[in-house]
Amino acid sequence: MEATPTENNLPLRYEGFSSLAEALDYAAQGKTGYNFYNGKGELDVVVPYARLRDQAQDLARRLLGLEVERGARVALVADTHPDFLRFFYACQYAGLIPVPLPASIHLGGHKTYIKQLHRLLINCQASIAVAPPTFIPFLSEAAEGLNLRFVGSSEDFADLPKATDKLKPLEAKELAYLQYTSGSTRFPRGVMITQETVMDNLANIARHGVKGRPNDRCMSWLPFFHDMGLVGLVLAPMASQTSVDYLSTRDFAMRPRLWLKLITQNRSTISFSPPFGFELCVKRLRKDDINKFDLSSWRLAGVGAETIRAEPLMRFADLLAPAGFTKNALVACYGMAECSLAVSFAPVDRGINVDRVNGEHLAESQKALPVKDAHGSDAAIAKSFVICGAPLPGYDVEVRDDHGRKLPDRHCGTLFVRGPSVMSGYFGEQELTQEILSSDGWLNTGDLAYRIADNIVITGRKKDLIIINGRNIWPQDMEYLAEQQPEFRTGDASAFSVSDPNGEDIAVLVIECRETHEAKRNNLVNRLQAEIRTELGIDCFIELVPRNTLPKTTSGKLSRSGARKDFLKRVADGQTQDPFNAVHAETLMKKAV
């Protein structure tokens, strides 16, 4: 077996496709394609775009044989597996809407995963649901009681009859897919992206973001159910006729050196990761691993999906410099599923650039004033932010204050974007859509930012989102788990994150508690921590506070930012245990044993 080649026999074409099906029709004329590697780093499955197109069209006819209406949703458990790609593109040819579902499961997390799949199947009103064979037991259980036309694996499709009608692929104005924001498991939001929307973003990513070259080859371990994994490393390479090598997310998390081994072996030029991936490599690589790698081909190491800090990336660059990694390859990006994927890219070949500003001014007046001497007298008050580059062509960008007024350069506020890559809305959630997408097309990103001329600098992420080990955790999911305990009621809990001295996030849950008995309180905390680990796979610091401690907004809703502020004050005043000691010291102690 041989992987698909890097060099293509087809003129590269980045633009002018009206749909994903049209882009695949073109890519299928060349020799490039998708390649899958197993947990030992061995080549497992090769799917050239040409073969993928044939397989997708064959499957499309079988999907149509199920006689569902055009635009019906096909839920796909998006494990890193060639079947996902076959079905995703089959939907494109069949006029059906693919909906990638998460394939991440935790130790002891059977029930949680079933519930999550169940909610998503309901939310997208799926007619058909497909999973690789190993996930079928979960999918079947999740689909119980739902009136789906068909639930099965690729193997089951071989027995289905084929429709003989001519295939009518999804067209420019039709949806391309529904993307669940890598968000709340309990309150899912399915981003609706049309063909013309995603095609616009893909063309801009290739032309202006990564500045595609004929010898490009991509490498990815990002999950297929995340925007960066799906749009950035599945759709974008296909739409620019580029070969990709895949390693499953789990295999990367277990053995991060495989990422670098495959880049070395395949002479990959483009690979993306959240900061977490680079940090994991730094933690796990052994000295004698380094000289086994040759990363000199890696011209673009994209970083996105979380708040980017320069220091851990520099540690990665320094560690791997002897293996030929150049720190200029690092490219900071900013984007979100609601914008298909990418909003801005820092320029390629320039590395990570930071803006050092006066932290006191920023906190007091929301002005990001540059400090002159970051290593001298200003060092103590300097705060560094990574510059995420200029918006891709077609985007209008504004930073606004809380009253909706447009702010000038270097004033920090909420980032709004408008342009042809922005979503049509959340599926079946008109109210949620109206909250963040105005009738004239402006999307409230929820991120805090300032601008320096064309450049976007993100200073804080979507207010409430918690990111632990590269995974997005929504505070409402943690609060819900607390409120499910018999001791608590709805509105008793507030969740948020604080960063420890190393800049790592710690999840915090503050709960109003009537119980005064010490042992019972401890028991309650332990029980809840265990449930949060089972359901969400993270450690959490829990603080029990007296009734009426949590601050409310004027409309009577709990204020998470207020709760966070109060909490930090209590920590500073010594009124509560310090989570850096409680959680962090505990981890450190365990590691030392």
Partner 1 sequence: MQNIEDLQEQLCRILTPFVPDGLDLQAETDLVADLDLDSMKVMDIVVDVEDHFDISIPLNILPDVRTIGDFVLQLQTLLKEEA
Interface residue list for partner 1 (CB under 8 A): 39, 105-110, 113, 134-135, 137-138, 250, 253-255, 469, 471, 526, 529-530, 533-534, 537-539, 590, 593
| In the complex, least distance from residue 138 CB atom to partner 1, rounded to whole angstroms | 7
Judged by CB, which is closer to partner 1: 27, or 130?
130
The answer for residues whose C-beta is within 8 angstroms of residue 250's C-beta and 6 or more apart is: 39
CB atoms within 10 A of CB 498: 16
For residue 262, give the nearest of 280, 279, 243 by alpha carbon: 243
For residue 315, give the nearest of 543, 503, 509 by alpha carbon: 503
Judged by CB, which is closer to partner 1: 51, or 106?
106
Judged by CB, which is closer to partner 1: 365, or 526?
526
Question: How many CA atoms are closer than 13 Å to the CA of 76, on its beta-carbon side?
Answer: 32
| In the complex, least distance from residue 355 CB atom to partner 1, rounded to whole angstroms | 31
- 78 vs 99: CA distance, rounded Å: 9
| In the complex, least distance from residue 279 CB atom to partner 1, rounded to whole angstroms | 11
Is the alpha carbon torsion for 167, 172, 173, 176 positive or negative? positive
Give the three-state DSSP class for 10: coil
Judged by CB, which is closer to partner 1: 108, or 322?
108
State the Cα torsion 400-403-405-411 to the nearest 10°. -50
Judged by CB, which is closer to partner 1: 191, or 495?
495
Judged by CB, which is closer to partner 1: 255, or 315?
255
Judged by CB, which is closer to partner 1: 53, or 81?
81
| In the complex, least distance from residue 238 CB atom to partner 1, rounded to whole angstroms | 26
For residue 68, give the nearest of 149, 123, 159, 162 by alpha carbon: 149
| In the complex, least distance from residue 182 CB atom to partner 1, rounded to whole angstroms | 14
| In the complex, least distance from residue 39 CB atom to partner 1, rounded to whole angstroms | 6
For residue 346, give the nearest of 507, 213, 188, 454 by alpha carbon: 454
Judged by CB, which is closer to partner 1: 367, or 533?
533
Judged by CB, which is closer to partner 1: 14, or 135?
135
- 21 vs 12: CA distance, rounded Å: 17
Judged by CB, which is closer to partner 1: 106, or 570?
106
| In the complex, least distance from residue 468 CB atom to partner 1, rounded to whole angstroms | 8
For residue 66, give the nearest of 86, 83, 91 by alpha carbon: 91
By the 8 A CB rule, do 330 and 351 touch? yes
By the 8 A CB rule, do 20 and 198 touch? yes
| In the complex, least distance from residue 243 CB atom to partner 1, rounded to whole angstroms | 26
| In the complex, least distance from residue 457 CB atom to partner 1, rounded to whole angstroms | 30
SS3 labels along 197-208: HHHHHHHHHHHH
| In the complex, least distance from residue 463 CB atom to partner 1, rounded to whole angstroms | 24
Q: Which residue has the tokens 């799949």?
A: 117
Question: How many CA atoms are closer than 13 Å to the CA of 561, on its beta-carbon side?
Answer: 6
